[in-house]
Amino acid sequence: MVTKVVDLRSDTVTKPSEAMRAAMAAADVDDDVLGADPTARRFEAEMARIMGKDAALFVPSGTMANLVSVLAHCDTRGSEIILGDNSHIHIYENGGISTIGGVHPKTVANNPDGTMDIDRIVDAIRHREGSLYYPTTRLICLENTHANCGGKCLSVEYTDKVGEVAKTHGLKLHIDGARIFNASVALGVPVDRLVRAADSVSVCLSKGLGAPVGSVIVGSKAFIDKAKILRKTLGGGMRQVGILCAAAYVGVRDTVGKLADDHRRAKVLADGLNKIKQFTVDLTSVETNMVFFDIADPRISPDNLCQALEQRNVLAMPASSKSVRLVIHYQISDSDVQQALTCIEKAVEEILSGNAKFEHLTNGSTANSYGH
């Protein structure tokens, strides 16, 4: 009997559902670069409606979504954006805003809950009289949920306050909403209300929503018109892209309603991990589908633990030299969570007994969870 693999590396690892595959096979398509793909146009219109914005644009990846958004807002050389020092855009997107866009990052410390202090954001805004010396602040970026802070949710009240700061100073606000639907569900706030203050939002379709490929950008029609040109410049214009949009539509339709179960299972997983004496888990920090746990026993390393787990068909990735991140998605069941906990306990016992044998494994379980 083949034991099922419980893949907790990320919510990016889901396989397309049968409904997604059927929708892809039946999709009505045409050339999207020419603006003629009917499935892409319908999907983009639906995403704009759901997010409460005027227009939307499908792009191949979340990294491109954020890069296009930043460049559309910062279309003048010498622009600067304010963003968190622990944010995905700043750490995990190859510095594209600088290397490709010539945009300067001004970082503000992220708090453990993913926020940046409002007064620090205000202090980071460049004064016009310093333009001889400094870049020009044009954009503030938030991340919701905040991955490196454990999948924490930024409240609508906080987002509105940052939006007011941006408006007061003549700036734009972009939200990296790779997991914005997770935040919406966890907070009990409609997603369009949660992002009302933002001028643009990127939404990843291949994380919690389970689609195989893609992200979508939403904003004003003028913003999306600029974004479309930038997407083409970056090589993101695709032809019969309705095949991908069809799967993404199924993900939005079918998977948003399952996110609450993902969050519940993450809390069950965290509670079980916290009962293993070699680990520590901040249970109050588990707000969505991510669980970070620290390893308190120096005899156990994240790499060795993940290798021992892979030998038991549980896949995970180190988050740091002393911690591991596990991510729940809609293809993880209650029994999968219990199987994972049982395997983790056995892996710990084996490592501490000195009987663990480590090999070169191929499923990527010992690569850091950078950018996922």
**Tell me: the pLDDT tens digits for 177-205?**
999 999 999 999 999 999 999 999 999 99
Segment holding 182, helix H or strand E: helix 180-187
Rounded distance between C-alpha atoms, residue 340 and residue 268, angstroms: 11
Average pLDDT over residues 101-118: 98
**Tell me: the pLDDT tens digits for 333-355?**
999 999 999 999 999 999 999 87
pLDDT of residue 302: 97
Among candidate residues 303, 321, 312, 322, the one with its CA nearest the CA of residue 364: 303
pLDDT of residue 362: 53
**Overall residue count recorded for the chain in this entry:** 372
Burial of 109 (0-12, 13-18, 19+ CB in 10 A): exposed
pLDDT of residue 132: 86
State yes or no: pLDDT of 20 exceeds 70. Answer: yes
pLDDT of residue 262: 98
DSSP 109: P
Query: What is the torsion angle, in degrees rounded to the nearest 10, for the CA atoms of residue 89, residue 63, residue 205 and residue 149?
Result: -20
Average pLDDT over residues 269-287: 96
pLDDT of residue 131: 82
> In 116-163, where do the E strands start and end?
136-143
State yes or no: pLDDT of 372 exceeds 80. Answer: no
- One-letter amino acid at 356 equals A
Could you tell me the pLDDT band of residue 232, with boundaries at 50, 70 and 90?
very high
Q: Mean pLDDT of all residues in the chain?
A: 95
- 62-76, 239-253, 355-369: lowest mean pLDDT where? 355-369
CA distance to 144, 213, 241, 347, 366, per residue, from 355 (Å): 42, 41, 50, 10, 19
DSSP 103: P
pLDDT of residue 2: 54
Give the burial string for 182-220 (b: 16+ CB within 10 Å, else e): bbbbbbebebbebbebbbbbbbbbbbbbbbbbbbbbbbe
Could you tell me the pLDDT band of residue 1, with boundaries at 50, 70 and 90?
very low
Average pLDDT over residues 287-291: 98
Chain centroid, CA 295 distance in Å: 24
State yes or no: pLDDT of 91 exceeds 80. Answer: yes
Could you tell me the pLDDT band of residue 358, with boundaries at 50, 70 and 90?
low
State yes or no: pLDDT of 283 exceeds 60. Answer: yes
Annotate 186-237 with DSSP letters as a single string: HHT--HHHHTTT-SEEEEESSSTT--SS-EEEEE-HHHHHHHHHHHHHTT--
Cβ-based neighbour number of residue 353 at 10 Å? 8
Cβ-based neighbour number of residue 93 at 10 Å? 19
State yes or no: pLDDT of 96 exceeds 90. Answer: yes
pLDDT of residue 371: 57
pLDDT of residue 360: 53
pLDDT of residue 130: 78
Rounded distance between C-alpha atoms, residue 371 and residue 363, angstroms: 17
Could you tell me the pLDDT band of residue 77, with boundaries at 50, 70 and 90?
very high
